């Protein structure tokens, strides 16, 4: 903004000559111009201008538009042509959207990510620009954000001062920035000139000389430091003359420079192919011929353990020696005293010098070309030099490592693996923290001063090194291949546990509507059962399989391999039949063979337990469940045919497998004990001994028993007549209700007294009778009204498929036909009223409005019929329609399933095959005006058969009330049993027909078509 001052006062005196009061001179502000840059700052200045002059809102847009420049002018013209601005706020928003920062670059995120890259002042400017755009951030948060973005050195010093405000923080940051900028800069090649010595004081920057800050550290009283530079030619000249690099004295192995100073050696970029700098601290040793090929590391010289070393305990000719494996040493070295003690022949070698780690050289005393060393049970033959060192007895260097070929050295676990002969050898190094022997006088001193808390006696024992798995390979295998196989031995390990989850696991999608598959296990020979149990146990231990309660079940089989072992396979054919097939391209064998042209190496990949290396999705694992020959209850199920009442004894145990929770009660305990007693006590079938010989006796019978298998036993004799007539199978259900009812009668004192009076021919009512220890009243079983049998009977006769969730009258009629107890009608009424399924599936019944004219009453059964269709049902096994046919006299009905696109011909065929075949052609048929009943085919067919078709009035179903009432009963029955699975109604249609035809009706001739209730009662 440009500030100008002008006088706002008039003349000091007016026309009347009186002096005017003094007035303050105002400031004239110029409105800022906007060219598209720094839009936020321009908006701020413009609003400050409007606030100063109190500019009205309707004039702000005009003033701002006059001060637009460059590219902003055409943009403003285009905007007001399409959408004129009506307020200053709308105008500023449009400016921010067009010329402001991107809305995707939030100032808050940029503020939190901002760090110092230049000076503190530049960082502070960027910080304040972003902080002004952020709202809702406290001053403490801004202070922490600013300190966190400073450079580490400055931030550390600022945090130590704990500044209370942002301004104080900025001042401290600038102060510490000056502190770090006065540090001397590192030397570079620009400070040096060829063959010239430069004083370091001359390289001080001028800005640092003029600073007014006091020095942070006192300058030491020392001579000025010089930086000396030697070219490669000068260094080679000094090397030839034997002059020291750092001073002008003669160089020798014991030479020490008189004035120790630190210098920087910098090589000149010349045309030499390789630079070989030598630090001045390295002492050059004058060595003889070949000395550069033999060296001993510093670790081997002192016998210490360092990086790249291992220690072993070994023996030479029975004498224990300490062995050090050092890859930093060139050769194998043995202490001379070991060779002298063992009297090992030594070959003299002339002037063999070895450069050791401290810079000196030692002369080897001899050579042993074939020294036998035994390490951890393995004998090694190797050449060694005799060298007097103070470290280990024997040093194995890089020369020996080169002779063993490919090897694996793991210095973290201190193991060395290499291939020798026909097997791998693993050497285990000693841990560095070995116990050190203690002196006796030290122990006594520690005892007197009570410095020993506990004392243990240790006894060392020799432990052979464990053998690795998969270390032995064929003798003709190449060492490189054997080493490769061992390096990747984890690939060939037997899988233990489930494989890792990968990007694509195996899934088992099932076809829509498929339920769980259950296939019973196969029978296996006795020799394979043991193998199955072993393999199952191994897989359980490895975590590959787990016990399952899945509803799926598949059998298993054992397939013999070429090598004689068994392959564990699961027969998933039933599961595959309901699995969605994956249509993937299968390559042609001929095409694959054509692709092999030019190939040199051929290989095959045989995955070990390949199917165990593919992970199955978590949601599909229950589908892979399989069942073995043992199953539930162990092997007791095999002898159920020889144990009387096995199912009854084991029933409480089998109930534990149901979906309800697992509860072990006194009843299950008693069943478990009874089952053990039934299995262990005679008569039982003795277990066969498969290790002994079996004798099979046969005859030539074609219909009777053809063979008898004899086993040892006193009474085990064959029948006299092998060819007697036989009965293949006989089974008869035994109802448990009879046994339970007898016990209930014994517990009821009133009924027991009536039973005793009946046995004495003194019955209180002549309708009471006793048969087979059961009490009857009018031929019906008497049930104690307080026993649980009452609830079971009510549940069976009302909620089952035979009960059909009928009303109170029909349910009472079914129960009273066979049972009797006091209060039966009340119990039936309460049970039906409390039935939840009936409340959900049935509709309220109301009396018809007005009076209806009844149809003529038929004189014979199956002469006058009524027909109707029930349509709009869910698709069930391809059917959506039910054809209902009912006899108007006996109320007997037939139900038939039909498809949606049924025709009159199909309906006629069903009617003839299922109704006419049994009952003949009717005289009359009452039906609605369906397209089938009004078709010419239908009319002509029944005209020829002498049947009259009576069609009801359109949209008046009350004309055929019999069919409508039957449809209501049928729909109610299907709703009660298929409300959870509506697509299964077609399977229940035969049961619905049986239930309806055997149910009690209010009309008297309902049994004219046959009384089926007697057969039901007898069979129950």
pLDDT of residue 531: 86
pLDDT average, residue stretch 14-29: 51
Instruction: State the pairing for strand pair 864-870/924-927.
Output: parallel
Q: Which CATH superfamily is domain 859-1019 in?
A: Ribonuclease H-like superfamily/Ribonuclease H (3.30.420.10)
pLDDT average, residue stretch 311-316: 88
Cis check for the bond before 914: say yes or no (omega within 30 of 0).
no
Q: With bands split at pLDDT 50, 70 and 90, how would you rate the model's confidence at 470?
A: very low
pLDDT above 60 (res 934): yes
Least confident of 224-238, 408-422, 488-502, 806-820: 224-238
Q: Is 892 helix (H, G, I), strand (E, B) or coil?
A: coil
pLDDT of residue 839: 82
Contact 874, 983 (CB under 8 A): yes
Q: Is 76 helix (H, G, I), strand (E, B) or coil?
A: helix
pLDDT above 60 (res 720): no
pLDDT of residue 632: 53
pLDDT average, residue stretch 423-447: 71
pLDDT digit string, tens, across residues 782-828: 888 888 888 888 888 888 888 888 888 888 888 888 888 888 889 98
List, in order, residues 6 or more apart from 1013 with CB less than 8 Å away.
814, 817, 998, 1000
Concatenated DSSP letters for 923-972? SEEEE---TTTTSHHHHHHHHHTTPEEEEPPTT-GGGGHHHHHHHHHHHH
pLDDT digit string, tens, across residues 497-540: 788 888 888 899 999 988 898 888 888 877 788 888 888 888 88
Gap between the Cα atoms of 250 and 244, Å rounded:
6
pLDDT above 70 (res 634): no
Q: Tell me which of 418 and 990 has the higher pLDDT.
A: 990
Burial class (CB in 10 A: 0-12, 13-18, 19+), 375: buried
- Closest CA relative to residue 837, chosen from 809, 872, 790, 801: 801
CATH class belonging to 526-624:
alpha beta
Q: With bands split at pLDDT 50, 70 and 90, how would you rate the model's confidence at 884?
A: very high
**How many alpha carbons fall within 13 Å on the CB side of residue 451?**
8
Q: With bands split at pLDDT 50, 70 and 90, how would you rate the model's confidence at 212?
A: very low
Looking at the chain, the number of H-run helices and the number of E-run strands are 33, 28
Residue 772 DSSP class:
T
Contact 310, 361 (CB under 8 A): no
Q: Tell me which of 410 and 3 has the higher pLDDT.
A: 410
pLDDT average, residue stretch 212-236: 52
pLDDT of residue 683: 63
pLDDT above 80 (res 620): yes
pLDDT of residue 1020: 44
Tokens of 148: 């966190």
Contact 308, 300 (CB under 8 A): no
Q: Is 47 helix (H, G, I), strand (E, B) or coil?
A: helix
pLDDT average, residue stretch 713-717: 54
- Which position has the token pair 């011929």? 289
Q: With bands split at pLDDT 50, 70 and 90, how would you rate the model's confidence at 895?
A: very high
pLDDT of residue 778: 86
Q: Tell me which of 748 and 24 has the higher pLDDT.
A: 748
Q: How far is CA 300 from CA 151, 322, 330, 388, 391, in A?
A: 46, 12, 11, 11, 6
Gap between the Cα atoms of 685 and 682, Å rounded:
8
pLDDT above 50 (res 925): yes
pLDDT digit string, tens, across residues 853-873: 778 888 888 888 999 999 989
Least confident of 942-951, 954-963, 985-994: 954-963
pLDDT above 90 (res 882): yes
Residue 639 DSSP class:
G
Q: Tell me which of 887 and 703 has the higher pLDDT.
A: 887
Q: How far is CA 442 from CA 447, 450, 456, 458, in A?
A: 9, 12, 16, 18
Q: With bands split at pLDDT 50, 70 and 90, how would you rate the model's confidence at 879?
A: very high
- Closest CA relative to residue 789, chosen from 734, 737, 842, 841: 737
pLDDT of residue 200: 38
Least confident of 170-179, 536-545, 587-596, 727-736: 727-736
Q: Tell me which of 382 and 126 has the higher pLDDT.
A: 382
> Which run of H or E residues covers position 160?
helix 152-161
Q: With bands split at pLDDT 50, 70 and 90, how would you rate the model's confidence at 427?
A: confident
Q: How far is CA 688 from CA 236, 524, 706, in A?
A: 98, 15, 21
Gap between the Cα atoms of 870 and 966, Å rounded:
11
Cα end-to-end distance, the chain, whole Å: 109
pLDDT above 60 (res 75): yes
pLDDT above 80 (res 551): yes
Q: Is 663 helix (H, G, I), strand (E, B) or coil?
A: coil
Q: Tell me which of 437 and 530 has the higher pLDDT.
A: 530
pLDDT above 80 (res 726): no
pLDDT above 80 (res 1003): no
pLDDT average, residue stretch 743-747: 83
pLDDT digit string, tens, across residues 746-770: 888 888 888 888 888 888 888 888 8
pLDDT average, residue stretch 356-370: 78
Least confident of 230-239, 645-654, 970-979: 230-239
Q: Is 447 helix (H, G, I), strand (E, B) or coil?
A: helix
pLDDT of residue 4: 40
- Closest CA relative to residue 958, chosen from 837, 822, 803, 850: 850
Gap between the Cα atoms of 94 and 61, Å rounded:
12
pLDDT average, residue stretch 356-362: 69
pLDDT average, residue stretch 311-337: 85
Q: Tell me which of 379 and 198 has the higher pLDDT.
A: 379
Q: Tell me which of 332 and 585 has the higher pLDDT.
A: 332
* For the ranges 10-14, 261-265, 404-408, 669-673, the one whose mean pLDDT is highest: 669-673
Mean pLDDT of the chain: 75
Contact 969, 841 (CB under 8 A): no
Gap between the Cα atoms of 331 and 324, Å rounded:
12
Residue 916 DSSP class:
I
pLDDT of residue 1019: 43
pLDDT over 90 percentage in the chain: 4
pLDDT of residue 283: 30
pLDDT above 90 (res 981): no
pLDDT digit string, tens, across residues 568-588: 899 999 999 999 988 877 888
Q: Tell me which of 340 and 707 has the higher pLDDT.
A: 340
Burial 258-279 (b: 16+ CB within 10 A, else e): eeeeeeeebebeeeeeeeeeee
Gap between the Cα atoms of 309 and 924, Å rounded:
112
Segments in 685-783 forming alpha helices (H): 736-747, 749-759
Gap between the Cα atoms of 486 and 480, Å rounded:
10
List, in order, residues 6 or more apart from 69 with CB less than 8 Å away.
33, 34, 35, 36
Q: CA 733, 738, 742 angle in degrees (round to 5)?
A: 160
User: How many other CB atoms are found less than 10 A from the CB of residue 842?
Assistant: 16
The domain spans of the chain are: 27-99, 107-181, 526-624, 636-710, 733-787, 859-1019
Q: Tell me which of 638 and 881 has the higher pLDDT.
A: 881
Gap between the Cα atoms of 58 and 656, Å rounded:
87
pLDDT of residue 790: 86
Q: With bands split at pLDDT 50, 70 and 90, how would you rate the model's confidence at 95?
A: confident
Gap between the Cα atoms of 136 and 355, Å rounded:
73
List, in order, residues 6 or more apart from 334 with CB less than 8 Å away.
368, 371, 384, 385, 386, 387, 393, 394, 395
pLDDT of residue 56: 84
User: How many other CB atoms are found less than 10 A from the CB of residue 511?
Assistant: 10
How many residues in total does the chain contain? 1020
pLDDT of residue 262: 44
């Amino acid at each position: 903004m440009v500030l100008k001052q002008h006088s706002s006062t008039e003349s000091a005196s007016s026309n009347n000559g009186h002096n005017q009061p003094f007035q303050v001179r105002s400031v004239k502000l110029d409105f800022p111009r906007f060219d598209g840059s720094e839009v936020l700052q321009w908006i701020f200045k413009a609003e400050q201008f409007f606030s100063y002059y109190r500019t009205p809102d309707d004039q702000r847009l005009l003033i701002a538009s006059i001060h637009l420049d460059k590219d902003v002018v055409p943009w403003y013209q285009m905007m007001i042509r399409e959408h004129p601005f009506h307020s200053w706020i709308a105008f500023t928003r449009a400016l921010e959207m067009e010329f402001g920062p991107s809305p995707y670059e939030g100032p808050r995120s940029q503020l939190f990510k901002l760090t110092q890259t230049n000076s503190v002042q530049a960082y502070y400017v960027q910080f304040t620009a972003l902080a002004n755009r952020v709202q809702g951030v406290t001053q403490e948060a801004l202070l922490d954000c600013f300190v966190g973005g400073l450079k580490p050195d400055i931030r550390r010093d600022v945090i130590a001062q704990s500044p209370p405000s942002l301004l104080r923080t900025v001042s401290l940051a600038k102060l510490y920035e000056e502190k770090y900028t006065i540090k001397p800069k590192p030397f570079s090649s620009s400070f040096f000139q060829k063959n010239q010595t430069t004083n370091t004081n001359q390289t001080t920057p001028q800005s640092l000389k003029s600073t007014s800050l006091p020095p942070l550290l006192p300058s030491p009283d020392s001579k000025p430091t010089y930086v000396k530079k030697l070219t490669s030619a000068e260094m080679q000249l000094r090397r030839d003359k034997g002059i020291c690099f750092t001073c002008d004295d003669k160089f020798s192995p014991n030479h020490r420079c008189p004035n120790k100073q630190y210098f920087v050696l910098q090589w000149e970029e010349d045309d030499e192919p390789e630079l070989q700098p030598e630090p001045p601290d390295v002492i050059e040793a004058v060595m003889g011929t070949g000395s550069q090929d033999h060296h001993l590391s510093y670790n081997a010289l002192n016998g210490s353990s360092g990086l790249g070393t291992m220690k072993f305990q070994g023996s030479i000719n029975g004498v224990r020696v300490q062995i050090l494996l050092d890859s930093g040493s060139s050769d194998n070295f043995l202490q001379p005293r070991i060779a002298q003690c063992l009297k090992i022949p030594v070959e003299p070698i002339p002037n063999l010098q070895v450069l050791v780690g401290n810079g000196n050289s030692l002369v080897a005393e001899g050579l042993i070309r074939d020294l036998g060393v035994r390490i951890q049970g393995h004998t090694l033959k190797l050449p060694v030099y005799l060298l007097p060192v103070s470290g280990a007895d024997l040093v194995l260097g890089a020369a020996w490592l080169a002779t063993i070929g490919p090897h694996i050295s793991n210095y973290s676990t201190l193991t060395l693996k290499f291939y020798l002969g026909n097997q791998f050898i693993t050497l285990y190094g000693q841990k560095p923290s070995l116990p050190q022997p203690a002196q006796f006088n030290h122990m006594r001193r520690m005892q007197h001063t009570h410095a020993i808390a506990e004392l243990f006696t240790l006894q060392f024992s020799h432990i052979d090194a464990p053998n690795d798995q998969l270390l032995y390979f064929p003798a003709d295998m190449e060492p490189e291949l054997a080493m490769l196989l061992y390096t990747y031995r984890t690939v060939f390990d037997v899988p233990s546990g489930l494989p890792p989850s990968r990007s694509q696991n195996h899934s088992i999608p099932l076809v829509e509507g498929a339920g769980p598959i259950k296939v019973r296990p196969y029978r296996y020979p006795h020799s394979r059962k043991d193998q199955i149990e072993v393999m199952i146990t191994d897989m359980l231990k490895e975590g590959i399989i787990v016990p399952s309660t899945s509803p799926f079940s598949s059998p298993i089989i054992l397939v013999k391999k070429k090598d004689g072992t068994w392959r564990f396979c699961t027969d998933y054919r039933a599961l595959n039949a309901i699995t969605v097939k994956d249509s993937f391209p299968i390559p042609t064998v001929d095409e694959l063979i054509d692709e092999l042209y030019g190939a040199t190496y051929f290989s095959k990949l045989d995955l070990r337990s390949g199917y165990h290396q593919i992970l199955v999705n978590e949601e599909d694992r229950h589908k892979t469940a399989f069942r073995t020959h043992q199953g539930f209850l162990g092997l007791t199920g095999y002898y159920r045919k020889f144990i009387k009442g096995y199912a009854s004894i084991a029933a409480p145990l089998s109930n534990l497998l149901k979906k309800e929770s697992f509860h072990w009660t006194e009843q299950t305990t008693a069943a478990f004990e009874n089952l053990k007693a039934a299995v262990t006590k005679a008569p039982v079938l003795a277990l066969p001994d498969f290790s002994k010989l079996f004798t099979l006796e046969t005859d030539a019978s074609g219909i009777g028993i053809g063979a008898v298998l004899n086993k040892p036993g006193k009474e085990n004799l064959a029948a006299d007549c092998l060819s007697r007539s036989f009965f293949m199978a006989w089974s008869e259900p035994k109802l448990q209700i009879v046994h339970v009812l007898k016990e209930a009668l014994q517990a009821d004192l009133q009924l027991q007294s009536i039973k005793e009076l009946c046995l004495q021919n003194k019955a209180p009512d002549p309708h009471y009778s006793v048969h087979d220890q059961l009490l009857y009243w009018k031929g019906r079983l008497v049930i104690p009204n307080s026993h649980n049998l009452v609830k079971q009977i009510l549940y069976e006769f009302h909620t089952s498929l035979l009960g059909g969730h009928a009303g109170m009258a029909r349910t009472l009629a079914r129960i009273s036909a066979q049972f009797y107890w006091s209060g039966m009608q009340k119990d039936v009424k309460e049970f039906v009223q409390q039935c939840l399924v009936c409340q959900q599936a049935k509709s309220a019944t109301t009396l018809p409005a007005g009076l209806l004219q009844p149809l003529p009453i038929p004189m014979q059964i199956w002469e006058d019929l009524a027909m109707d269709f029930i349509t709009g049902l869910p698709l069930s096994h391809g059917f959506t329609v039910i054809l209902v046919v009912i006899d108007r006299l006996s109320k007997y009905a037939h139900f038939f399933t039909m498809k949606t696109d049924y025709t009159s011909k199909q309906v006629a065929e069903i009617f003839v095959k299922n109704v006419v075949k049994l009952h003949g052609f009717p005289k009359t048929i009452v039906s609605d005006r369906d397209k089938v009943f009004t078709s010419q085919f239908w009319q002509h067919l029944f005209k020829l058969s002498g049947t009259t078709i009576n069609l009801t009035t359109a949209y008046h179903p009350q004309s055929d009330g019999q069919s409508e009432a039957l449809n209501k009963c049928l729909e109610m029955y299907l709703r009660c049993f298929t409300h959870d699975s509506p697509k299964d109604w077609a399977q229940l249609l035969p049961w619905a027909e049986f239930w309806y035809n055997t149910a009690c009706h209010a009309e008297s001739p309902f049994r004219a078509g046959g009384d089926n209730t007697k057969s039901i009662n007898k069979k129950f």
